[in-house]
């Protein structure tokens, strides 16, 4: 038995995220869980931006080119998931509620997390 007694409570942001997650799932979307680390191209070049203009947290010694920076947007992960599942029946409706990471010199660790939500759908057209 612990020598101290405490009362646990759910973090309010997580509670809100769970409520939003449930509503989006009830609307017919499937939740995707993607990696927090991604390549520099994923957060910059593929989105038409320069990596120098993005406040990304860079990994000093990445093991692969796919894990060079912490994501600053959820979009690259969901686009990869859509691309990998494009042969699935239409419509593909995906969502993700997760944190993105921004470099921030004003914080103790030099970065800050921000909770984001992103929903996207892929509809295929069939021409006869």
Q: For the chain, 128 residues long, give each residue's pLDDT as a single digit of tens.
A: 778 888 888 999 999 999 999 999 999 999 999 999 999 998 888 888 998 889 999 999 999 988 999 999 999 999 889 888 888 887 889 999 999 999 999 999 999 999 999 998 877 655 55
The structural domains of the chain, with segments of one domain joined by +, span 12-122
Sorted by sequence, the CB contacts under 8 Å of residue 124 that are 6+ apart come out as 90, 91
User: Residue 98, CB half-sphere, CA atoms under 13 Å: how many?
Assistant: 20
Class of domain 12-122: alpha beta
Dist CA 41 CA 35 (whole Å): 15
Phi (first) and psi of residue 68, to 5 degrees: -95, -30
Residue 99's contacts (CB-CB under 8 Å, 6 or more residues apart) are 36, 113, 114, 115, 116
């Amino acid at each position: 038995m612990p020598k101290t007694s405490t009362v646990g409570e759910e973090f309010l942001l997580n509670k809100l995220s769970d409520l939003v997650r449930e509503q989006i799932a009830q609307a017919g979307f499937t939740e995707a869980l993607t990696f927090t680390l991604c390549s520099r191209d994923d957060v910059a070049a593929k989105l038409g931006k320069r990596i120098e203009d993005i406040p990304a947290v860079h990994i000093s010694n990445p093991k692969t080119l796919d894990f060079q920076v912490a994501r600053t947007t959820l979009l690259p992960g969901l686009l990869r998931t859509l691309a990998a599942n494009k042969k699935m029946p239409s419509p593909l409706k995906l969502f993700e509620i997760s944190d993105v990471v921004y470099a921030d010199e004003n914080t103790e660790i030099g970065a800050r997390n921000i909770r984001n939500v992103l929903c996207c759908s892929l509809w295929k057209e069939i021409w006869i």
